[in-house]
Structure formats: structure tokens, C-alpha cells
Chains A and B, each alone.
Chain A
Amino acid sequence: MALDLQMPVLVVDDYKTMIRIIRNLLKQLGFEDIDDAADGTEALEKMKQRRYGLVISDWNMEPMTGYELLKQVRSDSGLSKTPFIMVTAESKTENVIAAKKAGVNNYIVKPFNAQTLKGKIEAVFSE
């Protein structure tokens, strides 16, 4: 899968500030089409209406967490191939294992920098 800077990216986080940070970093990396959602439920609705090239999601959100969103996405035949990066403060080993088992493409621990985000996105599209 090639990295296409024109593809729509969905950023999912319940903190507007974090959405703003990720949005700015993505813009700096060259992405232009960036959409956002405040939790898993909203993200899932948006994903059913539009085909996103990448989802970058937080873990801890109400009512639907990023982990639940990941599992929903992977169990939906129409969405299951969507690249999914978890960006979260949840840094326990069991979280990483659970996300990996659920089919996450990469995992970034907060706080992170632009270089890490860039590296992980490139890694996902070089798989």
C-alpha cells in the first residue's frame, strides 16, 4: 500500500487540543484532507459514509473507546482493511498486546513528536 498524501485521514480523539495538534502535524507532513471525530461511535459513523485512507485514534474515549472502534473496524468487511494507528497514553504491555491482537497497524505512546508520527505512518504504508 503506497502512502498517498491526498488520501483522507480521520483523527479520533475526545480532546480538541489533541485533534488540533495531530491535524497540524499531519499538515506539516503534507496531508491536506483531514477529518476528525470525538469518539469511536462518531468515527464509525463517518467511516461508513466515507472511505478513509488512514485512521489515527486515541484509546480512552467515551462512549466508544479506540480499542472498541478498532475491533468494530476489523470485524466490518467493508472497513477491515483501513490502516489504523493508535495514539494513546495507555502504555501498559497488555494494552499493546490487545491492540496488536485486535489488528492495529501501529501504536504511538503520548506524548509523541512529529518524527514519531511520521515514522509510524511511513511504516504502516511500507508494510
Chain B
Amino acid sequence: MRGVNLMANIKQENVARVIDFLEQNKNRDGEVSLTDVMHLAEVMSGSMHDFLSTVQPTVTEELKLIAKEITRMKEEICQLRANDMTGNKIPDAGRELDAIVEATEEATNTIMEAAEDIMGADTSDTEAYQELVSNKMISIFEACTFQDITGQRISKVVTTLNYIDERVSSFIEHLRIPEDLDAELQESDEERRKRELILHGPQHDGEGVSQDDIDSMLMGAQADIDKLFD
């Protein structure tokens, strides 16, 4: 509103000066000299000077604020350490998880091999059988040491996730992004597949339904299942 009034005042003042100029030169039969043009330009630029001198400090202040905000955002982005995250932390966490899968698989195979050997062993020679069982049991205990190492690897992954969580949370907080400003989620092909094929993956304790619940659902009448839709 202030800007609009200012413009209106300038226009009136400007028009008044132009009218004065024309009044003073009306008897000159349309003869316009370079001096006249220069004078008119001076009148116009004088009025523009008033306008600009009023507006400039406000615009400069706004530009300073924008520059300050851009600098602050750049600092926040630097604090995010995105390159470190994508170049080191996340790949490292991925490698730890791969190693966990590998270790658990190796341990499982060792344990299963031992169990299969015991199951298929000849029991007629008691002494040999006892020795075999004893050796296989030691193999099983040895294989179980994977738990200590995988525990440490999982701790490293958890530390990385906490690091990312802290950085991103701080970034969101400093940028003052409102919670309801999230962009609309675009469903990826994988997400669509998971939804259509009802793929949720394993549930935590207390989530999902137990085997007893499933048994009662399957053994019970269809009506029990239908009730779940009510």
C-alpha cells in the first residue's frame, strides 16, 4: 500500500512539472530544441531520483536479508556433510550390513552341516559316534561367535543412522520447514509392487498376528475373517 501511494504522489508531482514546462513554452509553435529535451529529461529524472532515493534503502535491506539467508542456507548445507554421507557413511553402513548377512549365512551353514552330520551318523559304534558329536558341538559353538562380531557391526550401522538422523533433523529445523510442507509422495514401482502384493516383511514382537491368531482365523468360520472388514 505504501508503495502504491508513493507512486501516486510521484506521478502527480511529475505531471505538475511537465505541465509547468509546457505552460512556459506553449507559444513556441511546436519548436523543440535539444535544450528543451534535456530540460524535460532533467525534470523527469529529478522525479525518478526522489522515487529511487525513497525505495533504494528498502530494496537494499531486502537484498541484504536474502543474501544473509542464502549464506545461512549454504552453511546449513555444509553442516549436513552430504558428500561425507553419500561418499563414506552410507556405503560403509551398506558394507557392514553385507558383512553381517555373509557372517550369519556362513555360521548357519556351519551349524546346519554339523547338525546334518550328526543326524546322518552311524550310531552303531558308540565311541566313534560320541567323538563325532563332541567335535560337531565344538564346531557349533565356534560358529556362534559370529554373534559378537555382527553385534559390533550392527552398532556401527546404528551409529551411522543416528548421525544421518541428527544432521537431517538439524537441517530441517534450521531451514524452518513446516511439517505439512512435505511434497506429495510419488509411489515408486517397487512401492507399488509391495502394496499390490501385500509385502510388509517381518514384524516386530507385538506387531502382526501370532501363529495362534492365524490358526484361529483359518480354523474359524469365514465370518470371523469377514468381521475384520467391518
Contacts and interface: CB of A to CB of B under 8 A. Distances in A.
Contacts, number: 69
Contacts of A21: 112
A96 B218 contact: yes
A59 interface: yes
B208 A92 contact: yes
Nearest to A120: B215
B20 interface: no
A90 B211 CA distance: 11
A17 B199 CA distance: 21
A94 interface: yes
Given A93-B228, A112-B211, A116-B211, A107 B218 contact: yes
Nearest to B202: A89
Contacts of B200: 90, 92, 95
Q: Which of A24, A91, A93 has the most CB of B within 10 A?
A: A91
A82 interface: no
Nearest to B113: A20
A48 B203 CA distance: 34
Interface in B202-230: 202-203, 207-211, 214, 217-218, 225, 228
Contacts of A91: 202-203, 207-210, 214
B225 A90 contact: no
A101 B208 CA distance: 18
Interface string A60-97: 10000101100000000000000000000111111111
B102 to A, nearest CB: 12
B211 A92 contact: no
A68 B109 CA distance: 30
A94 B198 contact: yes
Nearest to B200: A92
Nearest to A109: B211
A20 B112 contact: yes
Contacts of B119: 24, 28
Contact of B210 (A89, A90, A109): A109
29 contacts: A17-B109, A20-B112, A21-B112, A24-B115, A59-B199, A60-B201, A65-B197, A68-B197, A89-B203, A90-B199, A90-B200, A91-B202, A91-B203, A91-B214, A93-B209, A94-B198, A95-B198, A95-B200, A96-B209, A97-B217, A97-B225, A98-B198, A100-B217, A100-B218, A106-B218, A109-B209, A109-B211, A110-B202, A116-B211
Given A60-B201, A97-B225, A106-B218, 19 more contacts: A17-B112, A21-B112, A24-B116, A65-B199, A91-B210, A92-B200, A92-B208, A93-B209, A93-B217, A94-B198, A95-B200, A96-B214, A96-B217, A100-B217, A100-B218, A107-B218, A108-B211, A109-B209, A109-B211
Interface of B: 105, 108-109, 112, 115-116, 119, 197-203, 207-211, 214, 217-218, 225, 228
